Amino acid sequence: MEQLIIGRIWSCLVCGDSISRGVVFDEGKGKYSILKDNYVSLVQHGIRNVVRNVARFGNTLPRGSCKLARQIAEERPGIVLLEFGGNDCDFDWNEVAAHPEIAHEPNTDLALFERTLTATIGDLKARDIIPVLMTLPPLDADKFIKWVSRNDADAENSILKWLGSISRIYWWQERYSSAIARIAAKTKTRSIDIRGAFLGRADFQDLLCRDGIHPNAEGHRLIADAVLEYIAGDYSYMLA
């Protein structure tokens, strides 16, 4: 049972992948870079609490959860925000393009993802730390397939041959986001519906970078607004 102390200054730990790290594709530089005003930074400016960001580019849930015990010991957070799934559901697209005739596995099998998330939640609660989950922003399948095929028509055709339909990319990623929501409900864990915030916008594709998966600056503002709205509802005393 959560023991919330009104007025306490909680330390918040953000554990996730490149989205939480603030990685965006910089059109001017033609490469990935860290957005200064990423959602974690924007949230930090909006609350009185200390926010530590330990998210890493390329992080999967199994990789991130393995490091979490040490990070908790160092930071002693009251709240841990978990943002995972984007890399977990991803494939080695070069291998898919080269061998569309064989089976390919994602970085983290969905069943393993579910077990790991459930175990991580249980471990945090056992330590009297409040876990908060985030669902995944939706991806733009058209942008994404162009990106992973490097705009190579042959590679794109091979990937589509393996997929069967471009819509399968969206569906596959959505399964991991749905798993997060389902586990949050099953374990009675707090969650923030980032996916719903994006899909509430008819132009949600405009909130994503050229790669079709990383939120751009406007997308990060949307995530920050969703997180701050959640805080205002359940932890209003944390607001600056």
Task: Tell me the CA distances in angstroms from 27 to 31, 127, 187, 216, 240, one per residue in order.
Answer: 7, 43, 41, 10, 33
Q: What is the pLDDT of residues 80-130, one digit of tens each?
A: 999 999 999 999 999 999 999 999 999 999 999 999 999 999 999 999 999
Structure confidence at residue 13 as a pLDDT band (50, 70, 90): very high
Strand boundaries in the chain, DSSP class E: 11-16, 23-26, 31-34, 50-53, 79-83, 130-134, 190-192
Whole-number percent of the chain with pLDDT over 70: 96
**What is the per-residue pLDDT for 240?**
66
**What's the total number of domains in the chain?**
1
- Is 130 within the bounds of a domain? yes
**Core vs surface per residue 96-110: b (16+ CB within 10 A) or e:** bbeebeeeeebbbeb
pLDDT digits (tens, 9 = 90+) for 168-180: 999 999 999 999 9
Each residue of 70-80: pLDDT tens digit? 999 998 999 99
Report the CATH number at residue 27.
3.40.50.1110
The DSSP code sequence of 112-159 is: HHHHHHHHHHHHHHHTT-EEEEEPPPPP-HHHHHHHHTTT-HHHHHHH
Residue 182: pLDDT band with limits 50, 70, 90:
very high
pTM above 0.85, yes or no: yes
Number of Cβ atoms within 10 Å of the Cβ of 125: 16
Can you give the pLDDT at residue 155?
98
What pLDDT is stored for residue 159 in this prediction?
Answer: 98
**Residue 234 pLDDT class (50, 70, 90 cuts):** confident
- Within a domain: residue 164? no
**Residue 156 placed within a domain:** no
Domain membership flag for residue 213: yes
Average pLDDT, the chain: 94
Decide if 75 is inside a domain.
yes
* 80 vs 238, more confident: 80
Task: Kindly state whether residue 28 falls inside one of the protein's structural domains.
Answer: yes
Let me know if residue 76 belongs to a domain: yes
Range of the domain at 188: 11-89+108-138+175-238
Residue with tokens 């918040």: 12
Residue 105: per-residue pLDDT: 98
Domain assignment of residue 31, yes or no: yes
Quick one: average pLDDT of 47-67? 94
